């Protein structure tokens, strides 16, 4: 039987912090929203708006409200924009090793405030590997899709189940990559400081990889860079390494001058929602970037760094 390698002390310390994060990083849900932006918004207005909480008031649904209890995950919250139009896109987000659903809820509130129905999920066990988190993310999508036809749901008739994407933090980011391998019909992936060595993620799903140059748990060299380099050149891909960013850089969309939130939103808007107006937001290199490599096959691509690709191991192990 293959035995997992020991977790390093830095990771063990991080686990405790992650497990305690819960709701510490929260957007106020009491704020009165402004009028939602229209299709006439300029690129400058879109870029400025992406740095902030969106215009929609956010409400939530949980299992006690009647949503499906998926077998591949443990507990979840659907965050949705109140009063937004029909055909809403879907995102599902998974936390990292030993972390709770609460650690990624700030992203649920943030994306929902910009018109994207977003489910944050927990895992059946806090120490499950990335592949299990990938299955959990896909199961979460099924839960959100089920709201389209559920009697009494405020989302009944308002969802576009075909426009769905996934995101995750740390092992959850590795899980998001696995989800794209399992279901290449997904529209977008956001892998936040993804932890998953030894796997080549050769899938067609547009992928944003967030990394931090100070991350000692899932370093760019061992994780984010191999993920990016193994992505086919025919797949839209972006490696955004944040200057001074550590493994906790995704704890809130507001971190690092809110640029991680803005770029994540622009990626989801472009590829999951299908709003090409956000392409110009992606094409502008953030001030916080130490690496910003954007490749959009068949599209205009102005911002890119040249750097040596890391060697990508070809083994099939999952690590731990």
Give the residue carrying structure tokens 């999508």. Answer: 141
Least Cα distance to 318 among 135, 166, 122, 138 occurs for 135
User: Which is catalytic among the residues 114, 178, 223, 247?
Assistant: 247
The mean pLDDT of 22-28, rounded to a whole number, is 38
304 as an active site residue: the answer is no
Share of the chain above pLDDT 90, in %: 78
Q: How far apart are CA 243 and CA 212, in angstroms?
A: 6
User: Which is catalytic among the residues 79, 153, 215, 227?
Assistant: 215
Strands (E), the chain: 58-61, 76-81, 88-94, 117-121, 159-169, 188-192, 207-212, 237-242, 289-295
Angstrom distances, CA of residue 202 to CA of 199, 207, 237 = 9, 11, 12
Q: Is the pLDDT score of 49 beyond 70?
A: yes
Q: Is the pLDDT score of 10 beyond 70?
A: no
Angstrom distances, CA of residue 46 to CA of 51, 132, 302 = 9, 36, 18
252 as an active site residue: the answer is no
215 as an active site residue: the answer is yes
Give the H or E element holding residue 146. Answer: helix 130-146
Q: Is the pLDDT score of 3 beyond 90?
A: no
Instruction: Give the pLDDT confidence score for residue 294 in this predicted structure.
Output: 99
As a residue count, the chain comes to 320
> Which domains, from first to last, does the chain contain?
42-295 (3.40.50.1820)
Give just the sign of the alpha carbon dihedral 303, 309, 313, 318. Answer: negative
Considering the entire predicted model, what is its pTM? 0.84
Q: Give the number of other CB atoms < 10 A from CB of residue 117.
A: 26
User: Which is catalytic among the residues 170, 230, 251, 252?
Assistant: 170
Least Cα distance to 16 among 112, 126, 104, 121 occurs for 126
Q: Is the pLDDT score of 6 beyond 70?
A: no
Q: Is the pLDDT score of 237 beyond 80?
A: yes
Enumerate residues 6+ apart whose C-beta is below 8 A from 179.
134, 135, 137, 138, 166, 186, 189
The mean pLDDT of 13-27, rounded to a whole number, is 41
Q: Is the pLDDT score of 35 beyond 60?
A: no
Q: Which residue(s) pair with 9 in the sheet?
A: none
- Beta strands 188-192 and 207-212 are parallel
Instruction: Give the pLDDT confidence score for residue 36 in this predicted structure.
Output: 54
Write b or e for each residue in 179-203: b if 16 or more Cβ atoms lie within 10 A of its Cβ, otherwise e: bbbebeebbbbbbbbbbbbebbbeb
Q: How far apart are CA 284 and CA 75, in angstroms?
A: 37
């Amino acid at each position: 039987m293959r035995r997992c390698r020991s977790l390093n002390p830095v990771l063990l310390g991080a686990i405790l912090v992650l497990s305690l994060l819960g709701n510490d990083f929260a957007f106020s849900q009491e704020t009165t929203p402004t009028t939602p932006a229209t299709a006439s918004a300029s690129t400058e207005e879109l870029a400025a708006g992406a740095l902030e909480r969106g215009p929609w008031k956010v409400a939530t649904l949980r299992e006690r409200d009647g949503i499906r209890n998926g077998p591949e995950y443990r507990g979840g919250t659907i965050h949705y924009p109140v009063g937004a139009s029909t055909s809403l896109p879907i995102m599902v987000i998974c936390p990292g090793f030993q972390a709770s659903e609460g650690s990624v809820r700030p992203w649920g509130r943030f994306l929902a405030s910009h018109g994207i129905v977003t489910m944050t999920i927990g895992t059946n066990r806090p120490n499950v590997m990335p592949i299990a988190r990938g299955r959990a993310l896909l199961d979460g999508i099924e839960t959100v899709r089920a709201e389209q036809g559920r009697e009494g749901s405020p989302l009944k008739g308002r969802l576009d189940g075909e426009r769905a994407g996934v995101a995750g933090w740390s092992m959850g980011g590795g899980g998001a990559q696995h989800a794209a391998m399992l279901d290449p019909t997904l529209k977008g992936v956001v892998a936040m400081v993804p932890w998953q060595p030894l796997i080549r993620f050769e899938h067609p799903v547009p992928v944003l990889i967030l990394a931090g140059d100070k991350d000692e748990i899932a370093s760019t060299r061992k994780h984010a860079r191999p993920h990016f380099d193994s992505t086919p050149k025919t797949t839209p891909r972006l490696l955004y390494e944040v200057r001074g960013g550590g493994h906790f850089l995704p704890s809130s969309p507001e971190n690092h001058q809110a640029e991680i939130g803005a770029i994540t939103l622009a990626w989801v808007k472009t590829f999951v929602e299908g709003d090409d107006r956000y392409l110009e937001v992606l094409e502008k290199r953030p001030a916080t970037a130490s690496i910003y490599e954007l490749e959009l096959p068949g599209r205009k691509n102005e911002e890119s760094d040249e750097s040596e690709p890391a060697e990508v191991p070809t083994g099939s192990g999952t690590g731990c």
